[in-house]
Structure 1
Amino acid sequence: MDRIKEIIDEYKLKIIITLFVIIGILLIALFIMMTGQHSDQSDSVQNSQMSSTNNMQHANQTSEGMHRHYQSEFIDIEGAVKRPGVYQFTNNMRIDDAVNLAGGLNSSADRKHINLAKKLIDQQTVYIPVKGEIKGIPQSVNDNGDSGSGSNSTDSSNGSGKINLNTADVKQLQTIDGIGEKRAEKIIDYRKSHGNFSKIDDVKNISGIGDKFLANIKAHVTL
């Protein structure tokens, strides 16, 4: 028993130092483990925030795309183009772009009376004339880039104050006394189906239009 006490007394200091070392190692290991867990949690939070941000950006892009979809604009291009019809267009597009959407100009198209640089407008009707259809010298382009006073690519009044039955759109036709929206649409539909009027009297070929109506409008229209 005395021998054991002597051994303990002899190695007491070493035993204490060893215990401190072991405790220190345990504390360091515990600290490392806690630090690692905190780092993992931080990474998880950061990844979650990044994922949330990406989802919000995607949602915003989707919302913007839907907004643009519902703001779609359309134009009706007729006349001497390869594929006449209604086409969707975007902001800042020109008549030249509309012509390309319609397959390009026919060989019979009269380029001298077309302002290809004019901006497109929603619900606009663009009519491309054939050679010889419009008489006279083409109007000079004004400061706004328009080649005429109408919304079409050609001048629907020909500078005479009269409305051109072959180029006027629905709104322009309605400026004539006696022509409402329905009659204007009938004139446009007839023109699309049968081509341009060769004489003003051809208007009587349209259902619901007779001699009395022709007499009322004859002084206000031209070809």
Structure 2
Amino acid sequence: MYSLWEKLEKREKASLVGVYAASLALVWTLGYGWGRSSSASSPMQVAGVSPQSSVEVIDLSQPPKPEAVPTEPTAPTEPTPSAEVVVHVSGAVKRAGVYRLAPDSRVADAIEQAGGATQNADLDALNLAEPIQDGQKIHVPRKGEVSAPAVASVAPSRSPRSAPQAAAAATPQFPINLNTATAEQLEAIPGIGPVLAQRIIEYRQTHGRFQSVDELLEVRGIGPKRLENMRPYVVVK
């Protein structure tokens, strides 16, 4: 049996060979062009990533930066009150002087700070529960001690001779100066009569000016107890 190729004429065979050669050339051209386009594409284009895209590079060798936490504005601080107050304790206490105490202290606390009251102290004359204040003076009176009397007002007299007597009879304003006090002024001190007032003046005239209130102990008739009763009413200047 003859094959189909052998049955074809020369002209037909030449046409088929031409068509076959043109097909091979076309296939080779298409394969060559596809290979060049594939090799020219970058790995980023193949992956679908544009080469112009920005990529953030993270350095794993450095510790991560802490995120900033917004801080709330702090309220202005109020000034703290003073931690202590200063008071002066005097009178019938064991250690009279200036002391520092807590701001919420009472009069009783100040007296206790001064060593406590003496046996002749008149604590009923004070309000021991009263709150103290900075700069306050707390005087503990003695039993029988009276407050300094106010200056008595003297009505004007029509007689010119009675004017000096009225001025002398006026109660002095305490405390009085031992070095300038008159007998009438000394007699106005509770517990001091004319005799003792005259002795004080005579002592001053004989020994000179008083150097301290404690020097009254040198006057005959004045002992420690009487001196303590006189102390709030006299000074030495």
- Common fold: TM-score over 0.5: no
TM-score w.r.t. the length of structure 1 is: 0.41
- Structure with greater proportional helix content: 1
Q: Which has the larger radius of gyration?
A: 2
